[in-house]
Structure 1
Amino acid sequence: MINKVTSGLTWKILSVIRFYRNISIKKKMFLILYIQILIPLIFIGYFSFKTSENLIVEKSKSYSNELLSLVELRLQDTINNLNIISQDLSNDEGIYSALLNYDGNGINKLQDYEVRSHIINAFQQIIPTRTEVSAMCIVTNTVRVIEYDRSSLESDIKSVVLQNYTEIQQLARKAGGSTVWFFDADENAYLVKMIYNKDNYKEMGLSVAQIDKACFEAALGGPESELMMNLTIISPEGTIIYCRNYDSFNKYAEAIQETPNGINGKDKIFIASRTLNDLRWRIATYIPLKQLYVDVEGLRTSMILICLVAILLLSIVSFFVSFDMIKPINQLVNAMKGMNIDKISSSYIEIDRNDELGFLQKTFNTMTKEMDHLVNWIYREQLTRKEAEIKALQSQINPHFLFNTLESINWMAQLNNVPEISDTVSDLSTLLDISIGRDDRLITIEEEFIYIDKYISLLKRRFEDKITLIKEVDPQVLYVKIPRLLIQPLIENAVYHGVENNRGKGIITLVANIKDGLITIEVIDNGTGISSEELAKLNNEMNLDNNTYFKSLSSKKNKSIGIENVNRRIKLFYGENYGLKIESKVYIYTKVSVTLPVQIHNTKEGYYVQGSNN
């Protein structure tokens, strides 16, 4: 697995390197400049953003802690004042005396009325001075509730106490004479305190005061900041004692429970809270990160704008710098692309600078001059070499041809001793004139075929009717010029290597036509043919380029004269793409095909000369 990962990583790195090497220098310069400027800029912007973000969080923590400390002090003062109200209520002499004299049987209505009157009078003295209290009541041991409401004599406090009496009584007993808070189903707040007999410390009743939550608002102060606007007080049981923004709190209630302090990434809010020591009330506040980071967002926007402006300026500067550096490089590249043998001298570059690129241009111009000199020298040398090679090839054909012709005359003289010898000598004279060449270095195919007719005429004097020449020639071919003696050696080869050894009548077919701008000339005989191994060897030699062929001549023991020399002459004159192709089947036929271009581009140098005038 590790090897696969390493191989994949290596392949990706190599791909990036390959991509970088293949792009243009202009793109490389843009890429490097962007990397040098943008990457540091992005890193600086990113770390500035993160640093600002962290600073804001730290400052928010510090500010929220100070704010919650102040809120805690105010809240504690408010709770202490409310506890004093409960203490005053339970220590009131009128209430204590009324509870002390109350027998609880409910038979003496006069006594019951007097107790109620004493307690109501005590309430009327306490409540007007305590705006935090909405309603108050005393609960006797017989669960008789004597209540008083600020707005009316009838209040909901009685129903609440009766519905939750057992729970309220347990809370009061557990507090052991201290005040305790109770919250009903509607989250109304009540201060509860057990009243004991001062002599025997027996329970005499309960004092219950309903607290107006508006007192918390007055105590905690107004919403001076976003944190104060979201201030919430929660009891240990999860009851909302006080909340300034219920809609927002309900949205983030779960997050506030999950994250007492810090950032909740799920809901994207910052939360701070403190807990009152005695009551374990939790004072919590929060602010969405979007509001907390509003300044950071402005910084990020500024950084993005700075990056965009930097990219724009960088692009402008890069364009001018790259244009100044790429222009001379492109001049060099275009000059190199346009350079060829015929246009070396026209590849010079105008120099208008003295830096390293100017030095390259000067060096290129110097190199161009040297190349122009060398190419011209080598070109003339190659022309001379080819002309010498062609003359050497043609000089090989002439002795061979003369030898065969003289042999034919000798046979005729010995066998016949007749006047036909003069005709033979006449034909021979014509062929010798062709071989030597006098005026035109190129002749038409029609003239070449006339020479072939003369040659066949000579051969018929030897072989009589054993040899027949059939010509299938497109008339358009006759007016195309080719080098001398290009086809005649192929006829000669067909006679001596094909039909001469054939017991039957030898037929040589000469086919010539034009198709798709190419001349195709085929010499076909019905002789003995060539074996597949020898045929493959011959065709391989036909396909050799000129340099390889001439190098191999020194190592060849049996140097062929006819077909190979014609093939070399064609390649030297027309190019490496042209030449001979041989097809054969043993005892059936042999076909030699010549392919030549119709248009011949003559040059000033006559390196294809058939003969010499000297």
Structure 2
Amino acid sequence: MKWIKIRSLKHKIIMVFSVITVILIILQVGFFQHWVSAIILRQSEAYFQETVRQIGKQVDLQHTIIDTNARVIRNNQVIKNYLKDLKQHTINYQIAKYQIARQIVRLPNLDKMENIYIFPVGYAPMNLFYTDAIFQIDPETQRFIHDHENRDSRSDGVIWTVKPTTHQLSMMLLIYDGSELLGLLQIDLNDTFQNQLDDVKLGKQGSVFLLNQGQILFAKDRELINRNESALDRLSGSGTVASYQLNDQGWKLIGIVPSIEIRNQVNQVNKIILLMELFVFACIFLFALVILRMILKPLKQIMRGMESIEQGRLDVIMDKSKHDEFSVIIRHFNDMAERVNRLIKTVYYQQLTYRKAEVINLQSKLNPHFLYNTLDMIYWMTVVKDEEEIGDAIISLSNILRYSISHQNEFVPVAEDIEQLENYLKIQRMRFENKLAYQVQIDPEIVDIKIPKLLIQPLVENAIKYAFQQMLLGGTITIRGYASGDELLFEVVDNGVGMPSEKVEALLATFENKSQPSGLGIRLVQQRIRYLFGEEYGLSIQSEMGQGTTITLKLRRDAGIQQAELWKDEALQA
């Protein structure tokens, strides 16, 4: 496949810039985005890990406060004494409950606690600080107390549970006095603790989970509460997992962010980067167009100037208002064009002077034989006859001499030049004793168009000289003039002896050879036409032996007036 040729410098630069832009975008999509994605993934994982760690510290702090308050209640000796007296039946239940409640309400940092109950051994539950009162101990709690009451060793650990219906988080501690079990302390946390975890944001779809000894204590999806940690495997398998181990209580905080959210963040960042790159490329592209305009505008101006010179308009002057390298080139171009214009004008004036001299020389070269014969004819007519033809001949000759010698108007209307041509033909017809006939057929449309003076007469003289050498039977010359489009045509047709094609070609060849003396009149006519109107105008010859010859003169119709004025101006300057 052949490459498309691009000749415009602007299009070449834009194409190169576009190719480079496409390559950079491909590299960005294939390599840079992958690299950025890896960085974003690492940073996202680090961010989520740090977020879970900070949340874990807050949960750990709240857990410590709650645990401290619970242990303060359990280790309060006054409470123990009342519970011991109650167990030994030495104190009234209500009095003991009242005294224990007084001890509890004095404690600080109870804002995270919803309910505080004590289940004395052998007695009904004590509602000490509560929203929901309990009047009977549930069988499971009763069984729990009974199991530990019969043990020889005491259990000081904290038991965390989540109520299945309300999902309320509760803690239970056994109260001992020495090794004697006195009762069970139960503290229910309020919604503040869970609400804080519910408000945690890990991206848009991430979640945190609170576990104790592998059991889920908190999850936004409440169906996961009280289930084993293995229930999170399905979620963690398709996302980023961050965990934080709380201090020496067996609690662990796990944060899980779906992988699709990480990918969305990566895609969003990549889109932003891509849009920024496209914006930068657009700015660079506009900048390149501005630079191209700054470069190509003066370059196009120089090209237009060169085209003007190529078309012959040498008076072109380009603007050089700016002050840069192009202004220097334009200044030199203007100087060059001005010098070329002066040189061409100088050569033109020299050639014009030379051509004028040739024309004047041609016009001044009236055929001596013609003058001698005419004077001789006048002489014999005067002797033999006393007729008016003598006067006509003298007037015609006078007009011809005056018309030929005058140099004031080098371009004349067609009618004027044809009139002088008829004077010439009248004299020639008298010379050949009326054996010469002529016809003049000029289109009235062209009679006022100006043509170079004495342009047709040399052609007629050439026909009389060569076509009617014997003149035994006489001859006829027809002069036609008409317009064809933008061209002005004159035909000189004779019925003379004619010429073979070889002679016609040889005659045409002499038009280009100035050293040839033959055919001087017709050759100068050809040179005058080429000089005044251009190479596409001039003479053409058609001839056949015994059939006559036709010489066609082709001029430019609309150039006569301009050339005449130019000739006149140059003549005045000369």
Amino acid at match of 1:392: E
Give the match for residue 356 of structure 2: 390
- Aligned to 1:224, which of 223, 234, 253? 234
Counterpart-to-counterpart distance in 1, 2:555 and 2:292: 52
1:202-261, Cα deviation, whole Å (9 max, x unpaired): xxxxxxxxxxxxxxx9997554348579xxxxxxxxxxxxxxxxxxxxxxxxxxxxxxxx
Give distance in 1, aligned partners of 2:328 and 2:229.
90
Over 3 Å counting, the alpha-carbon distance change for 1:438 and 1:418 in structure 2 is: farther
Aligned partners of 1:383, 1:597: CA distance in 2, in Å? Answer: 22
- Counterpart CA distance in 2 for 1:428 and 1:389 is 26
| Whole-Å separation in 2 of the counterparts to 1:296 and 1:568 | 86
Q: 1:502 Cα shift?
A: 5.5
Q: Unaligned 5+ residue runs, structure 1? A: 1-7, 58-216, 230-288, 543-548
> Is 1:456 equivalent to 2:391 in the alignment?
no
Quick check: 1:471 aligned with 2:440?
Answer: yes
The question of whether the paired residues in 2 share the 8 Å contact of 1:528 and 1:586 is answered with yes
Corresponding residue of 1:606: 568
Unaligned 5+ segments in structure 2 are: 42-226, 240-258
Which residue matches 1:553? 514
User: Is 1:434 paired with 2:395?
Assistant: no
User: What displacement does 1:567 show?
Assistant: 1.8
Indicate which of 347, 350, 360 corresponds to 2:326.
360
SS of equivalent residue, structure 2 residue 535: coil
SS at match of 1:39: helix
- Paired with 1:460 and 1:228, the residues of 2 have a C-alpha distance of 123
The answer to whether the 8 Å contact 1:573/1:608 transfers is: no
- What is the one-letter code of the residue matched to 1:43? L
> Structure 1 496/342 Cα, relative in aligned 2: closer, same or farther at 3 Å?
closer
Cα RMSD (Å): 4.2
Deviation (angstroms), 1:525: 0.8
| Match in the other structure for 1:326 | 296
Q: CA deviation at 1:449?
A: 2.0
**Distance across 1 between alignment mates of 2:12 and 2:522:** 58
What's the TM-score, normalizing by structure 1?
Answer: 0.50
Task: Decide whether the 8 Å contact of 2:377 with 2:431 is kept in 1.
Answer: yes
Is the 8 Å Cα contact of residues 467 and 497 (structure 2) preserved in structure 1? yes
Separation in 1 of the partners of 2:459 and 2:330? 51
Question: Which position in structure 2 is the counterpart of 1:532?
Answer: 501
Displacement of 1:369 after TM fit? 2.8
Deviation at 1:518, TM superposition (A): 3.5
* Residue 526 of structure 1: how far off its partner (Å): 0.7
Q: Is 2:309 the counterpart of 1:350? A: no
Once the two structures are superposed, the pairs formed by residues 137-152 of structure 1 within 5 Å of their partners are none
Alignment of 1:76-115 (within 5 A): none
Give the deviation of 1:484 after TM superposition. Answer: 1.8
Alignment of 1:570 onto 2:540: no
Deviations 1:335-364 (A, max 9, x none): 4455589975651323333xxxx1331232
Per the TM alignment, residue 470 of structure 1 is displaced from its structure 2 partner at its CA by: 1.2
2-structure distance, mates of 1:51, 1:541: 86
Distance verdict in 2 for CA 1:463–1:502, change over 3 Å = closer
In structure 2, how many angstroms separate the alpha carbons of the residues matched to 1:445 and 1:608?
22
CA separation of 1:501 and 1:297: change in aligned 2, threshold 3 A:
farther
Contact 1:518 1:597 in 2 (8 A): yes
Q: 2:410 touches 2:567 (CA, 8 Å); kept in 1?
A: no
| Alignment partner of 1:45 is 2:29 | yes
Aligned to 2:482: 513
RCO higher in structure (CA 8 A, sep ≥6) = 1
State how far apart, in whole Å, the 1-side matches of 2:469 and 2:15 are.
78
Alpha-carbon distance change, 316 to 404 in structure 1, aligned in 2, over 3 angstroms: same
Residue 516 and residue 451 in structure 1: after superposition, are their counterparts in 2 closer, same or farther (change >3 A)? same
Counterpart among 491, 507, 520 of residue 460 in structure 2: 491
SS in 2 for 1:606: helix
Cα pair distance change 1:603/1:369, threshold 3 Å:
farther
SS of equivalent residue, structure 1 residue 458: helix
Look up the SS of the partner of 2:424 in the other structure.
helix
| Count of residue pairs the alignment pairs up | 366
After TM superposition, give the deviation of residue 499 of structure 1 in Å. Answer: 2.8
Amino acid at match of 2:346: R
2:369 corresponds to 1:403:
yes
Change (3 A) 1:540 1:292: farther
Aligned-partner residue type, residue 606 of structure 1: K
Indicate if the aligned counterparts of 1:517 and 1:598 stay in contact, CA closer than 8 A. Answer: yes
User: Aligned runs of 1:101-500 on 2, under 5 Å?
Assistant: 222-225=232-235, 301-337=271-307, 347-353=317-323, 358-396=324-362, 398-399=364-365, 401-407=367-373, 409-410=375-376, 418=384, 424=393, 426-500=395-469
For residues 402 and 583 of structure 1, what CA distance do their matches in structure 2 show?
29
The structure-2 alpha-carbon separation of the partners of 1:218 and 1:491, relative to structure 1 and needing over 3 Å to count, comes to: same
CA deviation after TM superposition for structure 1 residue 467, in Å: 0.9
Q: CA separation of 1:50/1:566 partners in 2, compared to 1, >3 Å: closer, same or farther?
A: same
Question: What TM-score do you get using the length of structure 2 for normalisation?
Answer: 0.54
Q: Does the aligned pair in 2 maintain the 1:412–1:461 contact within 8 Å?
A: no
Cα offsets for 1:74-131 (capped at 9, x unmatched):
xxxxxxxxxxxxxxxxxxxxxxxxxxxxxxxxxxxxxxxxxxxxxxxxxxxxxxxxxx
Q: What is the CA distance between 1:511 and its match in structure 2?
A: 1.4
Is residue 591 of structure 1 aligned with residue 556 of structure 2? no
Residue in 2 that maps onto 1:24: 9
User: Following TM superposition, by how much is the alpha carbon of 1:608 offset from its aligned partner in structure 2, in angstroms?
Assistant: 8.2
* Structure-2 change in CA distance of 1:369 and 1:521 (3 Å): same
Contact map agreement 1:507 1:525 (CA 8 A) in 2: yes
CA shift at 1:46, angstroms?
Answer: 1.5
Contact in 1 for aligned 2:320/2:330 (Cα 8 Å): no
Residue 523 and residue 374 in structure 1: after superposition, are their counterparts in 2 closer, same or farther (change >3 A)?
same
How far, CA to CA, are the matches of 2:299 and 2:532 in structure 1? 40
